[in-house]
Amino acid sequence: MFYINFRWKRRKLYALAKKIPGTDGLPLIGHAFTFMGIDVRNNINDSGKLLQNNLPVSKIWAGSLLFIVVNSPDHSQAMLQSTACLKIPFIISRPFLHRYGLIIANGAVWQHHRKILSHSFKINILQQLMPIFNQKCMKFVEKLQPKIGAPEFDIGHYVAALTLETTMTGNFHYDHCFYGSKIISDIDHGKTLMMKRMIEPWWNFEWLFQRSKLYKDMKASITLLDAKIDEIIEAYKTNMNNNEHRGTFVIDQLMDPANNLTYEEIRDEIFIFIIAGYETSSVTLSAILLMIAMHKDVQRKMFEEVDENYDGGHIEMEDLHKFKYIEMVIKEALRLFPTVPFVPRKVTQEFQMREYTIPKDTILIDFLYFMHRNKTYWGEDADKFRPERFEPEEIKKIHPHAYAPFAAGKRVCIGNKYAMYFLKIALVHIFKHYEFSTTYKYEEITATMSPSLEIAQKYHVSVERRKS
């Protein structure tokens, strides 16, 4: 009787779901059997099974939860521009142990925090970050010197320190050295635990989770990071009158009494910025360096552009437009390896997504990783690394929503310009001094989630000083 009553109350949802491509799965469990053996922590391509023959839109039932997977730019555009699709599903935010920073907050909290933080990502504020970007990238170049001529090594460890230092200094006025720091391994461990909870379905039972070793390990990991955040806040309070750019950076906005944030809200935002902000730049820059090490023709073109437009010293914001090929390289890396491989949304009210009526309480998954590689939109070489596809004459032939590494709509990534400026400056400094190679072949590369997209084989390269 309970099941019949449950189905009756949700009869409209089931009626609308019937019109969406895909099978209904089994009673009670839906497509749970399909998920068996899929672990995106090993290879995200395994999750291609969710796309059901590469359909533009398809449905999947996980028990009573209706998921709709989007693999089409037209439907992606309708989804991301709809006010019915602004909410982040609880199954995504829950692994952060109820932390509600900007990227996972909803409703009034999200609106208030985004309004506060958007100030720190305006062009005139980003201009003030240029000296920090340059300083940290020049330090990175120095840190690589001992690796010249050495065997292949995972450059991701060095890049993580670079991006963490840049994030800490450029957002929180916290200028410390993180090369070889334990906090990087602590953050990585925390990400692994969060991903474990997100992927393994039995941890959806809160009573089971809170009695598990995983819960204790996650609490311990977050406690370590909280201690660092408390240290950042105390350092800011101590030095706030001495900060050169006081009033402009992220922490200045968070700590401003006029913005009326609680200590817990401030800590949550710093927590999310550290986890999401530093890591996304780190995995993107690491992937770019590996791709360039594999593609010598791309590396040669980068050398030519750097030599033509950069003589040394600091790179100014007004110089960045000169590095058009480097920008294409960044965009191509983000196409193949978007740091956020899918965009999840909970539907808060029934809405029209092109030809489909999407019922309330559905969870939509905009699968960017597969849409970015879809040959329907990107051609037969969609799986290849070819920066030239972003030449103006080529890219204008591509549907504008077939490429969305920073998402789109009202919840578009607030730090997209920050990321592009930093990556450009980093690549100019690096390729002014070094050339890279690797024994890995592009065909061997697989992608994983942890929870952002990473390359499973890591980022093993060898470094040589550039020959003049």
Which token pair is 210? 């809170």
Q: How far apart are the first and last CA of the chain?
A: 79
Residues 6+ apart with CB under 8 A from 159: 140, 282, 285, 286, 289, 459
* Max Cα-Cα span within the chain: 79
CB atoms within 10 A of CB 297: 10
Residues whose CB is less than 8 angstroms from the CB of residue 357 and which lie 6 or more positions away in sequence, other chains included: 16, 19, 350, 351
137 annotated to bind ligand: no
Contact in structure between 81 and 400 (CB atoms under 8 Å): no
Question: Using CA atoms, how far apart are residues 287 and 289, in angstroms rounded to an integer?
Answer: 5
Q: Which string of DSSP letters, residue by residue, matches 245-300?
A: TTTTSHHHHHH-GGG---HHHHHHHHHHIIIIIIHHHHHHHHHHHHHHHH-HHHHH
Contacts for 163 with CB less than 8 Å, ≥ 6 apart = 278, 279, 281, 282, 285, 422
Binding site members for heme: 413
Binding-site residues: 413
